[in-house]
Amino acid sequence: MSSCNSGNSSLFGPRSQFIKADGGNLIAVEGVNVVEKQMLSDLRIPYKQVLRSRIILKPGQVNYLLNFLGLGDNVTFLCIKSTYAPKSTIEPDNYVMWSYYNDFYRTYNFSQLMILTGNSTNRIQQIYLTNPNANYPVTLDVMTAVIDDQYSFFNDVVNQTGRSFVGLQYTDIHTYIIGQSIVINDKSDPPRPLIFITLVNIENVDRIGDILTIDDSSLGPVFLQFLTDFDAMQANSLINYIMNNPTQDIDELNPVVDLIPPVVFFNSKFLPYGDYIALNGSTASVPYNSAEGLTYSTNVTLSSYTASNTITKLNVLTGLVNMVTDNRDGIISLTSSNILVSDSIGNNYNTISATGSYIVTFNFTDIAGNSPGNIIVDLNVN
């Protein structure tokens, strides 16, 4: 007589295989048969305080700080059970990423259940949670316990050391959730996320050479070292652009690189007392801008400045320039430090107090380092 069973199948179809809790133990079943058992009923985990709560991670939510329901860094027991949305049927998408508060470089994953335990001298640090599923939420049932009545926190070494990532290019930055967050990927194939950054948490972005520093209100300082200064400038430009235009998807920018210089829009006349601002000697189509040409000239009367009989660099700047715009950075505000006033033999002036011919040049770039070009204005003061 032949058997009705074949491997993991039976006459009635494939057998169900899963691990479940049963009477205080974990058991592995195949159909109705128990094939393995992990004894847990003998465990005794002491506690003095215990809390339970439910957390919903929104689709694509990044860096949710689980402070153990207010117990800080002192918990000695943590259990997280995840429940995925019924419509989230793609098994590889159903997992949660996490990392320790003081070890942000390493990320870990769990799917259905995570349990961490500690003792009075080896407690569990706070953790960050990320839902990598951009389409569906995940519900987390959390239970925490503490062995004693401690409430202190670990020393904040994170804000002393920051989080550093090296060997980056501006092309490693992508939109994660449109309007909410960006992700910086590594060089793996396929790429893996190094860090998620929530846009509203970015307080400031600074660049020195090939290093960007992002001040994040949740993560603390994040240090990004790029392969070149060019990459760092492009990354700085890109992050600032997305902060100001959060509904833009970085992957839909064409091109992603910013090589377009800002444009200087001149006044029709040197305000308030001067003549028309000419482009290559012509005033036929005033006002002009730097996209039309780079050589300008105008006249101004010194005696019109009766209060001080001097023309300051700020007077020169506001007299010449209406505004400066950039395709990524929007309106760029200039100060008197962005112009240089000199004469034909190379002397520089902060104020003009004598008639004569002066040369005005501009010294500024957009965030990506693009310059409007070598703009020259011949300023005749009479």
- Domain for residue 126, yes or no? yes
Residue 4 pLDDT level (bands cut at 50, 70, 90):
very low
- Domain for residue 194, yes or no? yes
pLDDT digits (tens, 9 = 90+) for 129-161: 999 998 999 999 999 999 988 766 555 444 444
Whether 72 and 110 map to the same domain: the answer is yes
Whether 140 and 170 map to the same domain: the answer is no
Whether 20 and 90 map to the same domain: the answer is no
Whether 365 and 336 map to the same domain: the answer is yes
Q: Greater confidence, 192 or 350?
A: 350
| pTM greater than 0.85 (yes/no) | no
pLDDT digits (tens, 9 = 90+) for 327-342: 999 999 999 999 999 9
Q: What is the pLDDT of residue 14?
A: 53
- Which residue has 């700020």 as its token pair? 314
- Domain for residue 258, yes or no? no
- Domain for residue 84, yes or no? yes
Containing 34, the helix (H) or strand (E) segment is: strand 33-38
What's 89's domain CATH number?
Answer: 2.60.120.810
Answer yes or no: are the C-beta atoms of 284 and 333 closer than 8 Å: no
Whether 221 and 190 map to the same domain: the answer is yes
Q: Is the pLDDT of residue 179 over 70?
A: yes
Q: Hey, what amino acid is at 178?
A: I
Per-residue pLDDT, averaged over 176-196, amounts to: 91
Nearest residue to 129 (alpha-carbon basis) of 94, 95, 96, 162: 96
Whether 274 and 372 map to the same domain: the answer is yes
Q: Is the pLDDT of residue 11 over 50?
A: no
Q: What is the pLDDT of residue 18?
A: 85
Whether 39 and 54 map to the same domain: the answer is no
Whether 276 and 311 map to the same domain: the answer is yes
pLDDT digits (tens, 9 = 90+) for 270-279: 999 999 999 9
Among the candidates 212, 230, 252, a domain finishes at 252
Q: Please count the structural domains in the chain.
A: 4
- Domain for residue 257, yes or no? no
pLDDT digits (tens, 9 = 90+) for 76-90: 999 999 999 999 999
- Domain for residue 308, yes or no? yes
Q: What is the pLDDT of residue 308?
A: 79
What letter does residue 188 receive in the DSSP assignment?
-
Range of the domain at 230: 162-252
Q: What is the pLDDT of residue 94?
A: 95
Whether 64 and 87 map to the same domain: the answer is yes
- Domain for residue 156, yes or no? no
Whether 3 and 27 map to the same domain: the answer is yes
Whether 202 and 243 map to the same domain: the answer is yes
Answer yes or no: are the C-beta atoms of 315 and 293 closer than 8 Å: no
pLDDT digits (tens, 9 = 90+) for 310-329: 999 999 999 999 999 999 99
What's 173's domain CATH number?
Answer: 2.30.29
Q: What is the pLDDT of residue 301?
A: 94
pLDDT digits (tens, 9 = 90+) for 247-264: 999 999 999 999 999 999
Show the CA angle centred on residue 185, arms to residues 252 and 236, nearest 5°.
Answer: 65
Per-residue pLDDT, averaged over 194-203, amounts to: 93
Whether 238 and 304 map to the same domain: the answer is no
Q: In terms of DSSP H, where are the helices of 125-228?
A: 158-161
Answer yes or no: are the C-beta atoms of 57 and 141 closer than 8 Å: no
Q: Greater confidence, 127 or 173?
A: 173
- Domain for residue 153, yes or no? no
